Structure 1
Amino acid sequence: MEMMNWLPEHSAALQDLRARGLSYSEIADTINATFNTAYTRNAALSRAQRMGLVGLERLEPSLPGHLDPPKPSLPELPRIGRLREGRAELTPDLLRGPKIFTETVEMPQLRCAAVVPRHLSLLDLKPGDCRYPYGGDSDGETMTFCGHPCRSGSSYCTPHFHLSRDPEATARPVLSAAWLQAIGAG
């Protein structure tokens, strides 16, 4: 992809043509014909985004399949001081990002197991030791494991077994009586 720098007169023409309601492909074609450049529709659109012009509405809807050759020059219209009345100016509040990322969010109370882990490495774990992991959340942080004796039929000790289960989900039967009757097992 070839990088093209927009000259100030090209940017001014883009702003003027966008204010007149031209599409970005028409803008690129007009600027190319006027200044002997090779801007694409996407280049015009990207430059308009950087200039803050993208939110402007077109004066007329575009017609699908309408591909007239570009007109070399448009009649001069008086320059408009502002692009459109009521256009919001970019303020630091708008540039910071959505509020959801800037506000403090109250975290829910997390459940925790009533056990002090032994923090064994994977190599130190023996058969029958709890494999509930601790750490390893960030790059380079070592992961350790609980290491207490496992509950029978589980890889976790009893406190970690209960911590890893949803109390409401385990209260519901996995297969209902209606399901068992439907498959002929009930």
Structure 2
Amino acid sequence: MQSTDWAPEHSEALGEHLARGMSFSQAAKALNAKFGTAYSRSAAIGRAKRMGFAAAPERPDDPFSPPPIAKTPRLEKPRQRHVPEFMRPMPAWKRKKMPKLRCVEIVPRHLSLFDLERGDCRYPYGGDEEGEAVTFCGHPKRPGSSYCTAHFHLTRGPGTAAERAAGTVLLRLVAAA
């Protein structure tokens, strides 16, 4: 590492080279050639700053740097206030009385799920009250259905196909429970 004590003639030569518009690396090379030293570009920059040459010589603009992008002025809009979803009051739900369901004139066998055979009707009974057992019709089922003929027509009442499908899914859920 070279000493920071520059000879006065080296400092004067650096000042002359910078005054002529040389870059710091060019000035360091010229000093090294003239005096047989090994000054680096960084050493020349440091010495020039200590001597008071704060500004570097003018350099051409870098042709590869993109031009600065002008920002478009942003008009400030007042924020619309809204109540967050979790702070909105919950609607009060009223209990609805369940409509009386249709029934069929058939006496179910009240079989448990384990007692059902392959061809038995799977229409559920019970399970309305807490702890009440769910039993199934158990009569011979209609071909292509899970229910006997009476319960098949009961589940295929009036309404759209989607409404009828919802009822069937509900019955399957009750049967699974």
Is the pair's TM-score, using the shorter chain for normalization, greater than 0.5?
Answer: no
The TM tier, using the shorter chain, reads 0.3 to 0.5
Please say which structure displays the higher CA radius of gyration. 2
State the TM-score, normalizing by the size of structure 2.
0.35
State the TM-score, normalizing by the size of structure 1.
0.33
